[in-house]
Amino acid sequence: HQTLKDSQDNIDLFSDPKSFEDGWNWLQSQVNVLNSQIKVGNADSLAEQLKRSSPMSKTLALKVMQELVDTYDLSIKAMKMSSAWKPEEQVRLFKRMLQPYLNLLLDWGKNIADPVTIPWHEDWPLSNYLDRMEILFKDLPENDTNHLRPSPRFSVVAAMIGSATAFERHFPEHIEDMFTLIHQNLIAIVTNSNNQLYDDGLLQQALLPDLLKGILKDFNTAPFGRKFQRMGFEIGNEAVIVKYNIPLRSHAAQMWLHFDKATNEIALKGFLLGLARTRWESGRTNLWTLDKLGVLPLSEPIRISDQELSFSWKIKDLQSIPAAMEQWKFLLDMSLDPRLETQGIEGALNRLKSTKTEITNFWKSIIKDRNLKFLFERNIYKQCLLLNDKEINLMLASVAGEGMMNADEEVRTSARSLFRDLIWEQKGYVEAEIAASKGVSNDNPEIRLTAFELFRILVANDKAYDAAEKAAAKGILDKDSRIHTNAAQIFTNLYEKGRGYATAETAAIEGIKNLDAGVRSNTLLLFDALFQRGIGHATAETAAMEGMKEVNKNVRQGAIDLFIALVDNDSGLAAAEIAARAGMKDLDDGVLLSAVNLFKALIKKGISYTLAEAVADQGVTNPDPNVRQSSFDLLTVLIENGQGYATAEAAAIEGMKDPHLDIRLSALKIFNALVKKGKGYAAAATAASAGVVDSDYMVRNSALELFDQLFMKKAGYNVAATVAEEALKSSNSGVRRTVLELHITLLRGNFIQNGAAEKAAMAGISDLDKDVRNNALALFGLLVQKGTGYAAATAAASAGVIDSDNDIRSKAFQLFEDLVQKGEGYVAATKAASTTLTDANTLFYKQAYNLFNILLNKGQGYAEAEAVASVGLINSNFSIRESAWDLYSILFEKGKGYSTAATALSQEILNPNWFRRDKALTLFKLIFRLNEGFDAAEMASNAALHNADWEYRTTALMLLKALVLNGKSYTTAEQAVLFAITDSSVYVKTHAIRLFEELINRGEGYRSADTVAETLATLALANGSIDQETFNLIILLFDKGFGYNAAATCASLSILTGQDFGSEGKRLINELFSKDIGYATVEKLASERLTSIDEEVRKRAFELFTILFKSEQGYRIAMRHPVVYMMFQGGYSY
């Protein structure tokens, strides 16, 4: 104790790399002293002291335990905060230091923590929880410095012991999370042990503040409507903390009473734990309301996260408790019932039965705070509107105006929504117009945008026409396209109201000249809106003609785009033709493209065919490649409209010779359009032949598409077959790839002989280019589907599965699968699958297993499959083990593989990974159903049973139980029980009891029954308690005529220790006495407990004596114990 109390100098050792190991050795020596099972000198172990010693001794022991927890915590923090360590070193040390800290938790959790008084979720009893903690810790990396910090969503209160939440929802993700969780769990175990020392009567007599004692008394008597359990009691230098737990389905809640010794203030702290969804936000709103009303003031800020809502109320006097309990109950109900989540501030006011005046004044005070973020959050302001109070509405309009200028988008959006709601009620529109007019001139484009959106609302509600028109004229020139769009929409809305035409026309003329493409684009929409109302055509035509004269290319492009809009509205056709001709000669790509689009618009109107054809014919020979390409595009449009076939074909033939890539692509596009119209097949085939051997892959792909189009017309396949065969010898690998794709297309359409395709595939499979080899395999796959080329395909697949490229290997496996399905290539496929599964590269194991599956279903490869499956079953890779088991499943169906499977599983039973052991256990059970594997399983269980690790011993007992359930290994199982029944691990002992129970139920194990019963009774006496599993077995043995003395011992202990099954203990004692046995044992145990300092224990001892007296036993003992003697004299006269 003194060593820990004065340990600061030792804690400082962890800050320096030179002294770290000294500090580490010292710290581990302190941990070893407080191991629950180790005896120091002649003293009892820590676990024994906590069970048997006086309350004062227990208090001192728990204080030392708490000091160890705090010292370990400070030691880790000293290392973490030291600048002498690099982060990479710190994270490794962090996990190293945590391992003994976790071991301490596992020790105290298994041997000191009381699972009866600590709340648990039904799916996460203490043993499961601690096991998962250990697994999670092992999986944490040692090389990620992010683990020095907590993960963003972790809630330690939700994850820790006693929270009673579903642990899988709150797993620690970082080492820092694990550190915090271990620390808090150790504290929880200590405080829970402390809690058991203080019953309600003792607390009322303790030197605690009257207010705290009054609250504790109220907690025990208040009609709360929900079960809650005191789970911890902490008395520290600074505070007294009493902790309660409240189970709530898959989540939970905790309530802490916190008395601050320095300030003499009491706070009630609440924790709602579980996934947030929307309920925690609703809870925060309710808490905020109660604070604002002064009903339950908050002593610290509300904390909210994805996993937790926590708060702290100031408790001034006992009169605060009913209100606190009522509101706390609502929060708990809300966490379970989604319908209550909608009861925000209004619901809180209703529950408090507030008057209308109180409600109005409350809202006024909120609005006066000018907390815009809060007012707009979750539309809280809407509840103010419902009051229909003139003063409040004016205040809200002022708040909305202020919000419109806020840089926060959410605030502005909510302010706009508030104005909308006010305007709908014919209120606040003057303030809205002022705010919008001010906003459209702001330098911040986001604020301007919100202002324009508000103007749209005003106009839609017949307000602020003039101001909106003025703003729209300004916005149409804004560089921000969003603002420009809103301005144009405002003009559209104004048109619907019969307003703004002249202003819109003027604005549109300026907008079409703007250098920004977005502005010009939205101006076109504005002109469209004008055109739809039969106005603006002349203005637009004049503006477009003037724009064509501008030096700036963007303005010229805008002018042509305006002409397109005019043509779409059957206006300015003559001027548009002139503009289109001029645009085709422009040097700018954008103008050229717009000119082509203008010709498209004219052609759709059934005009300008001849002009467009002439312009295009002239343009395809222009030195400028951009002009040539635009001309080709125009010819494509003419073809699509049934015009210019001959001109287009001639141009495309020349275009295929053009050095520019885009021209050749455009030429192929023309041929595609011609073929669709049933024209130019011969020239198109020639062009496609040239295209597939082009140096550029895009041209080659377009040529393949052209061939596809020709094939659909039943044309061009002879030309395609010729070029496909000749081009295989090309020095360009890309060309070779393309012609193999062409072979595939030809073969699929039966436009080529199988032999020619096979020859091409064989040439491609040995190509140096991987993509060529890939296409060759695809071609072989098609040949196999057509029922030909099997031998060559088998050779290709064999080469492919050992290729250096992974895609090739994958495709080769697929080809083998196709061959095997056709009844071909069995030997080569089996060899490929076997070789792959013995390769160090595991990437293709899955495909190799799939190939074996197909082979086995064809009655092939049994021996090879069994060999690789036995190796795969013990592979470290999970997916490989699963695939191996799938392979075994098929082998089992064929009556094969039992022996090797059992041998492999025997190894897995001894694997360090608990998951793999568990899987092996499951698979053994499956083999047992086939009446196989029993001998191997028995041998494996023997090996595991004698392992030093308790987890292996547990697995062994579970495996033996599976054997017993199948009517096997009774003798081995009985010997295992005798070996394991005294195991130091409670888990091993529990499984030994379950195994023996199964043996007894099957009429086996009787030779050892008395020995097992006496051993369990001896252990129970040593521990001073008995668990349910042990008691059930004792009753079973008793019913079978075994272990009478043990039954007397265990039945007495069940009563003396106050177990829930103590009533069964009474029944068992009465049955023993009816057989006239067990008196001495019961008498002895009852007598020993009569001198206990624990009043509850003495009461239970008296209870045993009443049973003895009824059987006319226990008189002599009564004479030696005055209290029993008085009890005897008081009513028991036999």
Q: Map out the domains of the chain with their CATH numbers.
A: 1-197 (no CATH), 200-354 (3.30.1460), 897-1005 (1.25.10.10)
Compute the half-sphere exposure of residue 578: CA atoms within 13 Å on the CB side of its CA.
Answer: 10
Q: How far apart are CA 257 and CA 235, in angstroms?
A: 12
The count of other CB atoms within 10 Å of the CB of residue 290 is 22
Q: d(Cα 563, Cα 511) in Å, to the nearest integer?
A: 15
pLDDT of residue 2: 46
Q: Chain centroid to CA 278: how far?
A: 18
Number of residues that make up the chain = 1134
Question: To which H or E segment does residue 832 belong?
Answer: helix 826-837
Tokens 């059987």 sit on residue: 1111
Euclidean distance between CA atoms 1108 and 452, whole angstroms: 93
**Torsion angles phi and psi, residue 232, rounded to 5:** -165, 150
Residues 455, 465 contacting (CB under 8 angstroms): no
Contact 465, 491 (CB under 8 A): no
> How far, in whole angstroms, is CA 740 from its chain's centroid?
45
DSSP code of 396? H
Which residues contact residue 922 at a Cβ distance below 8 angstroms, ignoring those fewer than 6 apart?
none
pLDDT surpasses 80 at 743 = yes
CA–CA gap between residue 791 and residue 804 (Å, rounded): 22
Rank 9-13, 120-124, 172-176 by mean pLDDT and report only the highest: 172-176
Q: What is the 3-state secondary structure (H, E, C) of 761-819?
A: HHHHHCCCCHHHHHHHHHHHHHHHHCCCCHHHHHHHHHHHCCCCCHHHHHHHHHHHHHH
Residue-level pLDDT at 99: 93
The predicted-structure confidence for 219-237, as pLDDT tens digits, reads as follows: 665 555 555 667 777 777 7
Contact between residue 1033 and residue 1043 where contact means Cβ atoms under 8 Å apart? no
Single out the residue of 982, 1069, 1058, 1073 nearest to residue 1034, CA to CA: 1069
Nearest to 701 by CA among 672, 678, 680: 672
Question: Mean pLDDT, the chain, as a whole number?
Answer: 84
* pLDDT tens figures, 485-529: 888 788 878 877 878 777 777 777 777 777 676 666 667 667 777
Distance CA(737)–CA(775), nearest Å, equals 7
Q: What is the mean pLDDT of residues 827-835?
A: 94
Given a contact cutoff of 8 angstroms between Cβ atoms, the answer to whether 119 and 129 are in contact is no
The percent of residues above 70 in pLDDT, for the chain, comes to 88
Q: Could you give the angle at which helices 733-748 and 770-785 cross, rounded to 10 degrees? A: 10
Is the pLDDT assigned to residue 877 strictly greater than 70? yes
Q: How far apart are CA 1045 and CA 1010, in angstroms?
A: 9
| Residue 1131 pLDDT class (50, 70, 90 cuts) | very low
Could you tell me the two tokens for 819?
A: 């061959």
Burial of 929 (C-beta count, 10 Å sphere; 0-12/13-18/19+): exposed
Cβ-based burial of 379 (10 A; exposed 0-12, middle 13-18, buried ≥19):
middle
Which pLDDT band holds residue 558 (cuts at 50, 70, 90)? confident
Contact assessment for residue 491 and residue 526, using Cβ atoms and an 8 Å cutoff: yes
The values of phi and psi at residue 344, to 5°, are: -80, -130
How sure is the predictor about 1088, in pLDDT bands with cuts at 50, 70 and 90?
confident
Q: How far apart are the first and last CA of the chain?
A: 54
Which of 307-311, 640-644, 805-809, 858-862 bottoms out in mean pLDDT, i.e. has the lowest? Answer: 307-311
Torsion over CA: 1014, 1017, 1021, 1023 (sign):
positive
Which of 667, 583, 684 has the alpha carbon at shortest distance from 632? 667
Cβ contact 927:885 at 8 Å: no
For the stretch 948-1000, pLDDT in tens is: 888 899 999 999 999 999 999 999 999 999 999 999 888 899 999 999 999 99
pLDDT band at 176 (very low <50, low <70, confident <90, very high): very high
Residue range 5-22: average pLDDT? 81
Residue 901 tokens read as 């499977």
What pLDDT does 641 receive? Answer: 92
Q: What is the mean pLDDT of residues 28-54?
A: 74
> Cα separation of 107 and 811, whole Å?
55
| Res 203: pLDDT | 64
Residue 502: exposure state from Cβ atoms within 10 A (0-12, 13-18, ≥19): exposed
pLDDT digits (tens, 9 = 90+) for 325-361: 888 888 877 777 777 766 666 666 667 666 666 666 6
- Among 42-56, 300-314, 1037-1051, where is mean pLDDT lowest? 42-56
Tokens 């092992």 found at: 138
Secondary structure of 489-509 as H, E, C letters: HHHHHHHHCCCCHHHHHHHHH
φ, ψ (nearest 5 deg) of residue 272? -105, 120
- Residues 701 and 435: their CA atoms lie apart, in Å, by 58
Give me the mean pLDDT over the 1015-1028 stretch: 89
Give the Cα separation of 690 and 552 in Å (integer): 41
Please check whether residue 327 is in contact with residue 286, taking contact to mean a CB–CB distance below 8 angstroms.
Answer: yes
Query: DSSP assignment, residue 962?
Result: H
Q: Decide: 758 and 794 in contact? Cβ < 8 Å.
A: no
Residue range 627-642: average pLDDT? Answer: 90
**Cα–Cα distance measured from residue 343 to residue 351, given in angstroms and rounded to the nearest whole number:** 10
Residue 202 has pLDDT above 70, yes or no: no
pLDDT tens sequence across 57-90: 777 888 888 889 889 988 998 898 888 889 999 9
Distances (CA, A) of 335 to 122, 250, 342, 503, 805: 19, 11, 12, 57, 56
1006 pLDDT band, cuts 50/70/90, is very high
- Under DSSP, the state recorded for 298 is B
Q: What is the DSSP string of 549-560?
A: T-SSHHHHHHHH
Contact 1027, 992 (CB under 8 A): no
Question: What letter would DSSP give residue 14?
Answer: G
Q: What's the CA angle centered on 750, arms 749 and 752, to 5 degrees?
A: 115
**Mean pLDDT confidence for 847-872:** 90
What secondary structure letter does DSSP report for 967? T
Instruction: Determine the residue type at 576.
Output: A
